[in-house]
Amino acid sequence: MALTDFDLVLFGGSGDLAMRKLLPAMYSRDVCGDLPATARIICVGRQDCGQDEFIDIVNNTSKPLIKAPAVTPEAWARFTARIVYVSLNATDAGTYAPLVEALRTDGAITRVYYLATPPHLFAQICDNLKENGLATKNSRVVLEKPLGRDLASAKQINAEVGQVFEESQIYRIDHYLGKETVQNLLALRFGNILFEPLWRREWISDVQITIAEKLGVGNRIGYYDTSGALRDMLQNHLLQLLCIVAMEPPTSIAPDAVRDEKLQVLRSLKKFTPATLAQNIVRGQYRAGHVDGQAVPGYRDEPDAPERSRTETFVAMKAEIDTWRWAGVPFYLRTGKRMADSLAEIVVRFKQIPHSIFNQPTNSFQPNCLVIRLQPDEGLRMNLMAKTPGEGMRLKPAELELDFRETFKSPRMDAYERLLLDVLRGQLTLFMRGDELEAAWEWVEPILKHWEQDESLPTPYASGTWGPAAASALIGRDGLQWREEA
Ligand code: BG6
């Protein structure tokens, strides 16, 4: 479906996200011919600089980050001609005149406000847009994470933005939902007859969801130290993946059909109490170590890190979903920085065969396992038992593999490219609804509260490892191992 003409307004237009992700994503779509000839990107920033000066910043900051499609002088010139820089103070409605002037008033032109700003500015920006007559019925607003830091602040954001925009105009981004494999998981579950009958407690023994990064906190300490892995990754990205794995089949791919089912999963997550929480959650903080053979500093030695920071850079937990489908099936969730490898994957392990007809004991059969790999290489892998060639009947684990890159040679799309196109097309399915956001915060809130009161420190782990030993013990207690450690 071709896009209609649009004005995409980026608040935080000279910030990190715009430069690193949003502008490169729009460039890529431009080169692929998706953007209407007169579509524009209006970058809003506080910085008092002229148009040429701003384009210089984009040339120096954003352009070098674009690897593919290659930047050619013609394509880049066409792209930067779409960019308009508007300087204003987002918190002062009286300074919005240049934005009013820059926006086209033709109602047929899609108008999107992308708030790539700290969340405490969301309400004020929405009010100021309204005051200046810019929050029209046809406009859309995109909210970038962090979407609050607890249930109360998330509710406040929902309420305040909701005063200006209808729910159907609000796009809450979780970029993990824009990743190719997440949608492939929907295709796998609901485009094949094979999995659905087995996708339940009778046949599945456990599910592991891991997002591991080799990167440390980098230059984001100011934000990260007030956030930590639970808020930064688990409350959003990991829970969204869990929802897609665990939800009941929606009746269609329509936004509310999918979001209703995800909401049910979030509401069915078993609540932690202080006692169950201590048993089922491990938090860690990285110390100095080696990643890819390079010595790296510990979290507290990162520039500007508080000496006694108690912020967790790693979380592992055992979660459960209280429904007929999933009762008793552990969902092990794990995320961390400065880990042994960078990967994101979902592992669905099926149960052991009930009886061996071969001359091998039942426990020599590796249970079937479906690995859904989000990154670095996107694909699906199914572990099966197969006969080794030759005489006799000896069975060994073998793999069926679907490498998306190999199978579908078509060009890739980055998560932000896909999600930006969805916003511009008005497709809400891959965006969180307000009640989903609140349900996710509601579930993590007891953990946050407990950690606030608990004087103990996160368990240290050496950079370049899979986290604290306690994380292996957590899953080991159930007779299992994390996949990378098996
Ligand atoms: C962001 C987090 O949401 O996701 C970062 O704030 C994290 O801390 C990033 O590094 C990971 O995303 P990706 O797509 O690189 O796996």
Q: What does the pLDDT read at residue 408?
A: 86
The per-residue pLDDT for range 27-47, each reduced to its tens digit, is 999 999 999 999 999 999 999
- Determine if residue 248 is labeled as part of a ligand binding site: no
Which pair of tokens denotes residue 402?
């679907």
Domains of the chain: 6-144 (3.40.50.720), 177-410+433-485 (3.30.360.10)
**Quick one: 358 exposed, middle or buried, by C-beta within 10 A (0-12, 13-18, 19+)?**
middle
Per residue of the chain (486 residues), give pLDDT as tens: 789 999 999 999 999 999 999 999 999 999 999 999 999 999 999 999 999 999 999 999 999 999 888 899 999 999 999 999 999 999 999 999 999 999 999 999 999 999 999 999 999 999 999 999 999 988 999 999 999 999 999 999 999 999 999 999 999 999 999 998 999 999 999 999 999 999 999 999 999 999 999 999 988 999 999 999 999 999 999 999 999 999 999 999 999 999 999 999 999 999 999 999 999 999 999 999 999 999 999 999 999 999 999 999 999 999 999 999 999 999 999 999 999 999 999 999 999 999 999 999 999 999 999 999 999 988 999 999 999 999 889 999 999 999 888 888 887 789 999 999 999 999 999 999 999 999 999 999 999 999 999 888 999 999 999 999 999 999 999 999 999 877
**Quick one: 462 exposed, middle or buried, by C-beta within 10 A (0-12, 13-18, 19+)?**
middle
Residue whose Cα lies nearest atom 14 of ligand 1: it is 176
The whole-angstrom separation of Cα 35 and Cα 29 is 7
Cβ contacts of residue 297 below 8 Å, gap of 6+?
216, 288
The whole-angstrom separation of Cα 404 and Cα 380 is 8
Task: Please write down the HEC assignment for all residues of 417-483.
Answer: HHHHHHHHHCCCCCCECHHHHHHHHHHHHHHHHHHHHCCCCCEEEECCECCCHHHHHHHHCCCCCCH
- Rounded to two decimals, the ipTM of the complex is 0.99
CA of 129 to the centre of ligand 1 (A): 29
The whole-angstrom separation of Cα 486 and Cα 482 is 6
The whole-angstrom separation of Cα 288 and Cα 296 is 6
The whole-angstrom separation of Cα 424 and Cα 140 is 9
Q: Is the CB of 422 under 6 A from ligand 1?
A: no
- Determine if residue 150 is labeled as part of a ligand binding site: no
- Determine if residue 378 is labeled as part of a ligand binding site: no
Instruction: Give yes or no: 450 in active site.
Output: no
- Ligand 1 atom closest to the Cα of residue 232 is 6
- Ligand 1 atom closest to the Cα of residue 344 is 16
- What's the sign of the alpha-carbon dihedral 227, 145, 317, 465? negative
Single-letter code of the amino acid located at 335:
T
Q: Is the CB of 213 under 6 A from ligand 1?
A: yes
Asked if residue 262 lies in contact with residue 434, where contact means CB atoms within 8 angstroms, the answer is no
Pocket test for ligand 1, best of 237, 335, 343, 419 (most atoms within 8 A of CB): 237
Residue whose Cα lies nearest atom 8 of ligand 1: it is 232
- Determine if residue 175 is labeled as part of a ligand binding site: yes
Cβ contacts of residue 408 below 8 Å, gap of 6+?
none
Q: Among 237, 290, 355, 450, which one carries the catalytic annotation?
A: 237
Q: Please state, in angstroms and as integers, the Cα–Cα distance from residue 173 to each residue in 7, 252, 285, 425, following that order.
A: 19, 21, 27, 15
Q: What does the pLDDT read at residue 23?
A: 97
CA of 218 to the centre of ligand 1 (A): 12
Q: Is the CB of 232 under 6 A from ligand 1?
A: yes
Residue whose Cα lies nearest atom 15 of ligand 1: it is 213
The per-residue pLDDT for range 417-435, each reduced to its tens digit, is 999 999 999 999 999 999 9
Look at the chain and count its residues: 486
Q: Is the CB of 180 under 6 A from ligand 1?
A: no
CA of 313 to the centre of ligand 1 (A): 12
Q: What is the torsion angle, in degrees rounded to the nearest 10, for the CA atoms of residue 358, residue 351, residue 277 and residue 451?
A: 100
- Determine if residue 21 is labeled as part of a ligand binding site: no
How is 388-422 classified by DSSP, letter by letter? PSSSS--EEEEEEEEEHHHH--SPP--HHHHHHHH
Largest alpha-carbon pair distance within the chain? 84
Phi, psi of 458 (to 5 degrees): -60, 150
- What's the sign of the alpha-carbon dihedral 224, 228, 229, 230? negative
Displacement of CA 375 from its chain's centroid (Å):
12
**For the sheet containing 170-172, what is the strand order?**
83-87, 40-45, 6-11, 110-115, 139-143, 170-172
Alpha helices (runs of H) in 14-115, residue ranges in sequence order:
16-17, 23-31, 51-61, 73-80, 97-102
Asked if residue 80 lies in contact with residue 108, where contact means CB atoms within 8 angstroms, the answer is no
Residue 40 falls in which region: left (phi positive, over 0), alpha (psi -120 to 50) or beta: beta
Q: What does the pLDDT read at residue 451?
A: 94
pTM reported for the whole predicted model:
0.96
Residue whose Cα lies nearest atom 5 of ligand 1: it is 232
Q: What does the pLDDT read at residue 481?
A: 94
Please name the helix (run of DSSP H) or strand (run of DSSP E) that holds residue 382, with its range, or none: strand 379-387
- Ligand 1 atom closest to the Cα of residue 236 is 3
